Structure 1
């Protein structure tokens, strides 16, 4: 996963109404229910089926740090799918996304303008149309580069072209991303 995809996932996780289970046993039990068996959970996490069974029965309580991270990530990606989908659809239809980024922005414009790329820190609202495009592309399995291009188009429209009021035909380049956060 890349920077944009992870940022979109973090934004939808902020919409959760309940925290994910804390203990390793509770997280394992949740995964076993979701994946309908200990074998599939074991394959997902890269451990033996017996290890999963021990966590489910609370015979093992503290996983290794790498397993604890994989376990928490697996639970987080499956946690509250309806709440996550509702947050996505609301952002795609009415509220849009808030983007906070520090990156190098360059652009191509009419001759005579200064188009030198420079680092900018921007915090602004992307319109719902771009939120919908980002979420749809992420669901379709778009590459990180494609997600960055959609983000660049959205930033170009919202910031540089000001919703079509200025800088017509301006193409924005979004590179050297230092920081990128989304919020719903």
Structure 2
């Protein structure tokens, strides 16, 4: 994962208790049930309503690769919403979230200290308030930069400032993200 938003989506998918439907027909039937009609699914996927009906009846079994990816992505977005909500609630109230990232961290600190940005690999457990802010921002349609800023603030407070016990004037910049993953 190279975006914080994708990482948050994938951590919630780890909480699923059942796998998503495998066949294109089963996935299409699920979408039709969720969106309450073939027309809405057709508009969502950019295909004709008749094509959706053929998938539902298993008259077409193998979608084109790009359509298969769109179908799977839309099913994953809607799969097990209650499980997803419970995982978010647990992370935001009690458990927090673990961030594993490889990125360039730059610093703004007191004169006489180094501020050269360095590539670091960090695995840090962020407290529930940062998990809550990340999920709230993601659900509200926040940008990738907003999500990175929240993650950077969490890393700054927990890892670099050691919960406020040192480096009081330190400000951390979270740039050149090579990889970012989350765990509950």
- TM-score band by shorter chain is over 0.9
Aligned to 2:65: 65
Q: CA RMSD in A?
A: 0.8
Q: Tell me which residue corresponds to 2:99.
A: 99
Give the whole-Å Cα distance in 1 for the aligned partners of 2:61 and 2:174: 45
Counterpart Cα distance in 1 of 2:169 and 2:39 = 55
TM-score (norm 1): 0.98
Are 2:26 and 1:34 aligned? no
Q: Does 1:163 align with 2:148?
A: no
Q: Map of 1:34-183 to 2, 5 A cutoff?
A: 34-183=34-183
- Other structure's SS at 1:163 match: coil
1:156 Cα deviation after fit: 0.5
Cα distance in 1 for residues equivalent to 2:124 and 2:180: 12
In structure 1, runs of 5+ residues without a counterpart are none
Deviations along 1:15-65, one digit per CA (max 9) or x if unpaired, are 000000000000000000000000000000010000000000000001110
Give the structure 2 partner of residue 10 of structure 1.
10
Deviation at 1:169, TM superposition (A): 2.1
Between the two proteins, the alignment pairs up a number of residues equal to: 183
CA distance in 2, matches of 1:180, 1:25: 33
Q: TM-score, normalised by structure 2?
A: 0.98
What 5-or-longer segments of structure 2 have no aligned partner?
A: none
What is the deviation of 1:165? 1.0
Structure 1 residue 144, shift from structure 2 partner: 0.8
Q: For residue 19 of structure 1, give the secondary structure of its aligned residue in structure 2.
A: coil
